[in-house]
Amino acid sequence: MMPLTPSPKAILNSLCKEFLSVNVSAILYLMNYEKYGRSTASAQYFLQLAGYLGIPVIAWNADNSGLERRASQSSLQLQLAPSLEHQTAAMLSILERYKWHQFSIVTSQIAGHDDFIQAVRERITEMQDRFKFTILNAVLYTKASDLVTLVNSESRVMLLYCTREEAIHILNHARELKITGENYVWVAAQSVIATGTPPTQFPVGMLGVHFDTSSTSLVTEITTAIKVYAYGVEDFVNDPRNANLSLNTKLSCEGAGLGDSRWETGDRFYKYLRNVSVENDMGKPNVEFTADGVLKAAELKIMNLRPGNNKQMMVWEEIGVWKSWEGEGLDIKDIVWPGNSHTPPQGVPEKFHLKITFLEEPPYVQLAPPDPVTVKCNMNRGVLCRVAREQDVAEMDQFSAHRNSSFYQCCSGFCIDLLEKFAEELGFTYELVRVEDGKWGTFENGRWNGLVADLINRKTDMVMTSLMINSEREGVVDFTVPFMETGIAIAVAKRTGIISPTAFLEPFDTASWMLVGVVAIQAATFTIFLFEWLSPAGFDMKVKVATANRCLEGVLSADGLVVLQVTPAANHRFSLFRTYWLVWAVLFQAAVHVDSPRGFTSKFMTNMWAMFAVVFLAIYTANLAAFMITREEFHEFTGVDDSRLSKPYSHKPMFKFGTTPYSHTDSTIKRYFVEMHAYMRNFNRTSVQEGIAAVNSGELDAFIYDGTVLDYLVAQDEDCRLLTVGSWYAKTGYGLAFSRNSKYVQMFNKRLLDFRENGDLERLRRYWMTGTCKPGKQEHKTSDPLALEQFLSAFLLLMSGVLLAAILLFFEHIYFKYIRVKCAKTDQGGCCALLSLVSQSMGKSLTFRGAVFEAQDILRHHRCKDPICDTNLWKTRHELDLTRLRVLQLERSLDAHGIKPPARHINAPHAGVLMHHRDMTRNHVFTNEFGSRCYRPDEREVQEMETVL
């Protein structure tokens, strides 16, 4: 036998002498505190020692069931009584039954109070799919002032976990704080209810969970515990794997090592005890345990504190039962509710009334007249609000006042929808009243005005509009957390109908134009000229300089043929400046006369430049249309601190800009930009709508105001001419404002955070802040100039052409210096002859004289092998005959008028010889190798030479 409150030494001696000495393999710990008293510390110490020794414990604790199992951190306990998890599940089932979503938890410093709170949270997580709970407060009671938190809370339902004695003090103080009335429900755990007559401090209508803790029940549980032990031993012994293991602990408190202080087989034996299944009576499920050693199936009674037969006495009466195995079902009959009411309380604060002041500002609060027939606001028009002064409507009947739109209008907008959500969640009624002086609230002439003044003078309970939070206002009123971020922004209008005078240069950026003009054109010009100079088949500039003053003249020979001879000329036809003309003409595809190079390499380089020009013009023309359209220009300010605004006199002409007086924007500018504030007084507008209209009409260059409001008005602009520019200045937020030390601040703060977390604020913002036009800064141009990297491929093409042309120049020199000379000497019909024919043909094609030789050879041998060639040849001869006849006719006409015709270069009798017997061994062809000052053949001679070619 031990005393009810043994000392730790006594508990240790009892274990060493009475338990370990007889080799116990399990301990049955059954205790009824309600009858035999309480000693939580000693019980906890005892169970901790048992766990340290590795001896399994089968427990039944009538008072704090499951408490010691958690507190002792022992993993070798089996709990036969309903655990804390079962109790919290039953208590939350009551809350779910009556739709009480929010509650508070009140505990004392009883051992395991943290476990109780944790069990509640875990149960809420399990139930969140079907029912959402919110824990408003978790109060640890140590003194009476701890309960003040519940007074200022919205909670009307409390879960109480403590001892019976502690509950008397808690509920006595709660009664003094008036939180035990008819609107408050207290739900107690098993340890509070206990047995016997309830204390008078307990309020009528309390609810609680309970299970049988009588002595009879204790005896019954002893039988169950023995069965659990017996079935565990049987399963352990019958398992062949345990043949070499014994249930004798062989532990001693006198051992020197750890091996003698813990029973290693205890963990294994505990698993067999945990897996047993004991049949139960009266159709209840078998006694089985979870992996944590807790009963799988438990039954709890739902108790209600109500007046007994003697009206002065209170009794706990069973009104229902909770069974975990029946879907955790709850069966409850008639309940006496707090205040002897027969209807359950709401579980939320009773409705209260608030006077709310506002000032209209779209999209937060906007006004519209009510329906003229019903004198009510439609769903899309919001709620009825008073816009007149209180004394103006004091003597009027309500119906007449509502019909007059100058007294009452319909308020709608972001803040009104948010207010409706608050009213629904918190359960209050309200009256919306417009501030009388129509000002936001600034400190002027030693006093506050507008909305802030109403709060300071306590003419209103709350301000609900787009009231910006700043340090001055926070010094005199209380704000909630911001429901929307904002700052000072600038609105400007776009000026249309302007085309940039440099639009034709804008398809490319400056770097690209510089690369084309300075690098590409110069590189192409000098490479073409250089390749022509160095090419063997090109103009020999050294030779041509000596004959620079020579050109061809046509002379009639003795046999009547036209002979072309070289005569002095003024200049050379292919020079550096003519190369520039060729490059520019090819680049812009100009239809003008150009001089082409003669060398093969320079011709190839000219073709590469032509390819570059094609790419350049294609890209240029493709992008030019985007820059030749009508532009939309606007004043692009960087922000309020832009020097053109903050120092208005520094820019000529000065910009015209303003804001609305007595607003947050006006007071901020007045504080930080004195010169700017003084300048813009002449341009201020009484309302935001007037300011936006002035910007649209051109009366103002810019309007400065709250960023979110300007974004909304920009989005609503029908012509989409408005936009906001620059970054926000003095960023802050909009908040709900209350009088100093208002009891509603915490209530609304918590709801605002919930709305932000669940996305309600974001949904409202998207609904009210959208419009036809997108707000924010827009670009000046619809297209951006092409940067150098986007045009780089064309330059790579040109550079590749230069490199390839240089390689071809090298091979051209090799060909003319070695291969052509060698192949010209060998004409034996072999491979070299074949190469010679090809090379000679190429050599001819590389020069104008070679082309003449080719034409002479064709005419000499008449190598026409198809009818088309013969037809062309006959046609040419026929045209020559007609020309000859025309010449004769002109000569006769001159003779008839007494005019002697000039000497002809081509005699008629010998004209036909031109096509048949010309001496082709000499160069008789007029070329473009010389200057333009030389004698030119007439048209007939040119036609004859073209025919020959």
Q: Are residues 140 and 222 in the same domain?
A: no
Higher pLDDT: 25 or 40? It is 25
pLDDT for 781 equals 43
- 180 in the same domain as 69: no
Residue 907 clears pLDDT 50, i.e. is over it: no
Asked whether residue 405 falls in the same domain as residue 474, the answer is yes
- How would residue 139 be classed by pLDDT, with cut points 50, 70 and 90? very high
Same domain for 58 and 122: no
Pairing of strands 185-188, 207-210: parallel
Residue 665 among known ligand-binding residues: yes
Q: Return the minimum-mean-pLDDT range out of 11-15, 558-562, 780-784.
A: 558-562
**How far is the C-alpha of 388 from the C-alpha of 595, rounded, in Å?**
90
Phi, psi angles (nearest 5°) of residue 744: -90, -10
Tell whether 202 is covered by a domain: yes
What is the pLDDT at residue 427?
82
Residues 6 or more apart whose CB falls under 8 angstroms from that of 584 comprise: 521, 590
Q: Assign residue 468 the CATH number of its domain.
A: 3.40.190.10
Q: What is the pLDDT of residue 232?
A: 92
Q: Does any domain span residue 716?
A: no
The pairing of strands 702-706 and 657-658 is parallel
- Comparison of pLDDT for 622 and 759, the residue scoring more: 759
Of 60-69, 93-102, 933-942, highest mean pLDDT: 93-102
Average pLDDT across the chain, whole number: 78
Examine the domain organization and report whether 180 and 322 are in the same domain: yes
Instruction: Determine, yes or no, domain membership for 837.
Output: no
Beta bridge partners of 383: 411
Model confidence over 770-821: pLDDT tens digits? 876 754 444 444 455 655 555 555 566 667 777 887 887 777 777 767 776 6
Smallest Cα–Cα separation from 167: which of 154, 155, 156, 180? 180
Instruction: Let me know whether 62 and 29 are in one domain.
Output: yes
Structural domain of residue 467, as residue ranges? 353-483
Please report whether residue 600 resides in a domain: no
Q: Are residues 92 and 227 in the same domain?
A: no
**How long is the chain?**
949
Of all residues in the chain, the percent with pLDDT exceeding 70 is: 76
240 and 225 in a common domain: yes
- 405 in any annotated domain: yes
Whether 875 maps to a domain, the answer reads no
200 shares a domain with 65: no
Rounded to 10 deg, the angle between the 792-814 and 521-534 helix axes is: 10
Kindly state the average pLDDT of the residues 907-924.
40
Q: Which of 454-458, 585-589, 877-881 has the highest mean pLDDT?
A: 454-458
pLDDT 10s digits, 595-623: 788 887 888 888 888 888 888 888 878 77
Structure tokens at 671: 């504080």
Mean pLDDT of 348-359: 87
- More reliable by pLDDT, 89 or 343: 89
Nearest to 835 by CA among 848, 845, 821: 821
Single residue among 425, 449, 483 that ends a domain in this structure: 483
Using the 3D structure, point to which of 448, 483, 518 is the last residue of a domain. 483
Question: Is residue 478 one of the residues assigned to a domain?
Answer: yes
Is residue 226 predicted with pLDDT exceeding 80?
Answer: yes
Is the same domain home to 31 and 128? no
CATH of the domain at 190: 3.40.50.2300
Q: Is 241 annotated as a binding residue?
A: no
Evaluate whether 303 touches 90 at the Cβ level (below 8 Å): no
pLDDT of residue 783: 53
Q: Is the pLDDT of residue 207 over 90?
A: yes
- The predicted-structure confidence for 301-334, as pLDDT tens digits, reads as follows 999 998 877 766 788 989 888 988 876 567 777 7
Spell out the residues 6+ positions from residue 190 whose beta carbon is closer than 8 angstroms to its own.
63, 65, 82, 87, 208, 209, 210, 211, 213, 300
Same domain, residue pair 47 and 144:
no
Query: How far is it, in rounded angstroms, from Cα 637 to Cα 726?
Result: 5
CA atoms of 641 and 729, how far apart (whole Å): 8
Residues 52 and 158 in one domain: no
Q: Are 886 and 879 in contact (CB under 8 A)?
A: no
**How many CB atoms sit inside 10 A of residue 845's CB?**
12
Q: 260-293: per-residue pLDDT in tens?
A: 678 888 889 999 999 999 988 767 888 999 888 8
Assigned domain for 493 exists: no
Annotate 278-328 with DSSP letters as a single string: B--STTPPPB-B-TTSBBSS-EEEEEEEEE-SSTT-EEEEEEEEEETTTTT
State the total domains in the chain.
3
Tokens of 127: 């139930």
Average the pLDDT over each of 26-30, 342-346, 804-808, 848-852 and give the range with the smallest value.
848-852
